[in-house]
Amino acid sequence: MTDEENRSHSSFQALLDAAVDAIIVANAKGNIETFNRAAELMFGYSEAEVIGQNLKVLMPEPYAREHDRYMDNYQSTGVPRIIGLGREVTGRHKSGRVFPAELSVGKATTDDKPHFVGIIRDISERKSIEKALLVERDRAQNYLDLADVILLGLDTSGRVTLINRRGCEVLGYQESELLGKDWINTCIPANKRESARRQFDQMIGGTKSWHQMSEAYVLNRFGARRLIAWRNAVLRDSQGKISGTLSSGDDVTVKRQTENQLRLREEELNLIFENAPLGTMTLDLTGRLLTLNNALCNLLSATQDELVGYSFIEAVHKEDQDAVQSLLEGLTGEIYPPATSMRCRMVTRTGETIHVELSAGAVHDQSERPEFLIVQIQDFTDRVRSEDEAAELRERLTHVARLSTLGEMAAGIAHEINQPLTAISTYAQAGKRFLAQNHVDVDDLSETLELMDRQAQRAAEVIRGLRRLVRQKTTHREHLDCNQLIRDVVKLAETDIKSDNTHIDLQLTPDLPNVAADSVQLQQVILNLIRNALEAIHDVGKKGNILIRTDMPSPDWIKITVQDNGPGVSEEMLVNVFSPFRTSKEAGMGLGLSISRSIANAHGGELKFENNSGGGACFYFTLPSVASRD
Ligand code: ADP
């Protein structure tokens, strides 16, 4: 070796040793000729240990076997297969540890002999970083797939670079079907593509770096449109150049539809609320007015401003405040109490007292706690007034009718009282005669006095009955035996009946349950019916028959019937018999039946009539029995 060659060799050696990468030179058979310092460190062998050894010692199985094949192949064909750059191989350390390495192989020929120079770099670290990156990427992909929103990445020309699982679900495509596709042409409805493209270009052009939330339709694989709420951002590379966009999208199709339906429903409810004929309001749980409708304003003669925010209870009549307060409190306490209602009085802004029916219910939140109250108010002041007026009118009419009945019967009554008086007078004269004869038969005298007393009792009874009838008193209900009541009334009307040549028959069902009624009013009804029957019979001038019957159409009801053999209700009166002041009689007032019917109704019963098939009329009324009330 010349000096020159020596120098060149030692500087080559220095170069080899200084190299960071392992450099191994092998001959055509694969036997190691050169093994630099870095190779020693990488493989754990000293140069002396490996020189002359086959390269296979540096490889684990199955690479070692494969290497043999390469070498054989090279021997026979002269074509080395492993020459090239950056091939990834696996090396084996002396300790047996294997590691990934990058191998570049070159061929050199000296003295006509081929040598292979391998430069090897341990890429364990790079590999583990790559592996970590892969793990990270998988994890990121998992996150993307787990996300409940669509995640969409586009490159600068609008091609899909990323789409997560949710995106694939919404769009109906596989990930592989979308990656690389032009997003706008594939997934945006045709009529929206132009504007979508414009927006996208603006983002990519940097004129709109962050496009705020926007909603747009996408077209899925099956041609259906889904409404997506998008948030978009541009992505930049390490130089800050825009490299694409990343968007997250929420499928709000159903949400918007539901919202729309809810909005419509709310509008509908508002309309109903505003225009409800009943006063309607919402109250917070402390009873303060939150909202109210026009009907309520009208009812309380106040404006919205005068009511909203105020305590509802203040508008309630002082005497009813406690009851209303406890009704409202009952609603806020329990879970889901039923809606309730009550009658109470309220006072308007102008100080007028009104009668209302108040219905209230609680509206609950998701955790079933009462959130607010809805209250409806129905004004029935007019009804109360007209009921009062009607009751007063009825009372007055009853009195008038009673007096007129009495007037008409006065003659008969006078006769009725006259009879016992005449008898008393006759007995008194007889008594006087006994005394004058100076011969007093005590038995005769005692019998005469007894007869006098009986007649006086009879007169007193008639007077008592009259008193009872004429006295105007407010309704007083007591438990009454209808059969007895009828017998009393008939006794009172007896004189009329006799003078009219009319026979009265009683068919009274025994053991009738009592009724809760005002005796005077009931007598009035029966008396009216008897009197009408007598008058009807009188008109035809034949021998009259009146039948008064009691029976029980059902265990809860009692029926009283007054039937006559007169002409029956005339054609023209058929629809009017119960109308006040409708009469077919010259001196009639036309009040008897209308009063009688209102009395029957006030007792919970009904007064009706029908004409008998064999002639005559049949009036009957029902009353609930006391048993049915208990
Ligand atoms: P008034 O007896 O004063 O006419 P009512 O109200 O008692 O008043 O009777 C109204 C009308 O009903 C009578 O005028 C008569 O035409 C008819 N009416 C009532 N009772 C009978 C009856 N038993 N038979 C036929 N018509 C009757």
Does residue 160 have its Cβ closer than 6 Å to ligand 1?
A: no
Q: How far apart are CA 275 and CA 296, in angstroms?
A: 10
pLDDT at position 85, please? 64
C-alpha distances out from residue 119 to 32, 85, 87, 106, 393, Å: 13, 9, 10, 8, 126
Does residue 588 have its Cβ closer than 6 Å to ligand 1?
A: yes
Query: What tokens does 529 get?
Result: 């019916």
- Expressed in angstroms and rounded, the spacing between residue 545 Cα and the centre of ligand 1 is 17
Mutate to test the pocket of ligand 1, among 408, 577, 620 (most ligand atoms within 8 A of CB): 577
Strands, E, within 255-364: which ranges?
Answer: 279-283, 289-292, 340-347, 353-364
- Expressed in angstroms and rounded, the spacing between residue 618 Cα and the centre of ligand 1 is 12
- Expressed in angstroms and rounded, the spacing between residue 552 Cα and the centre of ligand 1 is 26
Residue 11's Cβ-count burial label (10 Å; 0-12, 13-18, 19+) is exposed
- Expressed in angstroms and rounded, the spacing between residue 594 Cα and the centre of ligand 1 is 10
Does residue 585 have its Cβ closer than 6 Å to ligand 1?
A: yes
Mean pLDDT per block of 10 residues along the chain (630 residues) reads 69 81 88 92 93 90 79 74 72 93 84 86 89 86 83 95 93 94 95 91 78 82 92 88 92 90 88 85 92 91 90 94 91 72 92 92 84 90 78 66 58 66 88 80 86 84 65 69 91 70 91 89 88 86 89 94 95 87 78 83 92 93 77
Q: Which residues pair with 621 in a beta bridge?
A: 560, 607
- Which residues contact residue 127 at a Cβ distance below 8 angstroms, ignoring those fewer than 6 apart? 100
Specify the residue with its C-alpha closest to ligand 1, atom 26.
Answer: 569
* Unique residue bearing structure tokens 């706690």: 369
Q: What is the CA radius of gyration of the chain?
A: 59
- Expressed in angstroms and rounded, the spacing between residue 582 Cα and the centre of ligand 1 is 8
pLDDT at position 629, please? 46
Does residue 64 sit in helix, strand or coil? Answer: helix
In contact, 274 and 294? CB cutoff 8 Å:
yes
Specify the residue with its C-alpha closest to ligand 1, atom 16.
Answer: 584
pLDDT at position 630, please? 45
Does residue 16 have its Cβ closer than 6 Å to ligand 1?
A: no
pLDDT at position 243, please? 92
Does residue 566 have its Cβ closer than 6 Å to ligand 1?
A: yes
DSSP letter for each residue of 211-274: ---EEEEEE-TTS-EEEEEEEEEEEE-TTS-EEEEEEEEEE-HHHHHHHHHHHHHHHHHHHHHH
Query: What tokens does 141 get?
Result: 């992909």
Specify the residue with its C-alpha closest to ligand 1, atom 27.
Answer: 569
Terminal C-alpha separation, the chain:
140
Q: Which residues pair with 563 in a beta bridge?
A: 547, 618
Query: What tokens does 74 get?
Result: 């090279």
Specify the residue with its C-alpha closest to ligand 1, atom 19.
Answer: 532
Q: Which of the 8 DSSP states describes residue 573?
A: G
Are β-strands 544-554 and 502-508 bridged in parallel, bridged antiparallel, or unpaired? parallel
Q: Which of the 8 DSSP states describes residue 334?
A: S
Q: What is the dihedral of CA 344, 350, 351, 357, to 10 degrees?
A: -10
Long-range CB contacts (< 8 A, 24+ apart) of 232-235?
232/203, 234/203, 234/204, 234/206, 234/209, 234/210, 235/153
Does residue 150 have its Cβ closer than 6 Å to ligand 1?
A: no
**Ligand 1 atom showing the smallest separation from residue 589 Cα:** 3
DSSP letter for each residue of 423-481: HHHHHHHHHHHHHHTT---HHHHHHHHHHHHHHHHHHHHHHHHHHHHH-------EEE-
SS (H, E, C) 122-175: ECHHHHHHHHHHHHHHHHHHHHHHHCCCEEEEEECCCEEEEECHHHHHHHCCCH
pLDDT at position 394, please? 63
Q: How far apart are CA 285 and CA 280, in angstroms?
A: 16
* Unique residue bearing structure tokens 């962050």: 210
Q: Which of 172, 159, 174, 147 is nearest to 204 (CA)?
A: 159
In contact, 50 and 32? CB cutoff 8 Å:
yes
Residue 531's Cβ-count burial label (10 Å; 0-12, 13-18, 19+) is middle
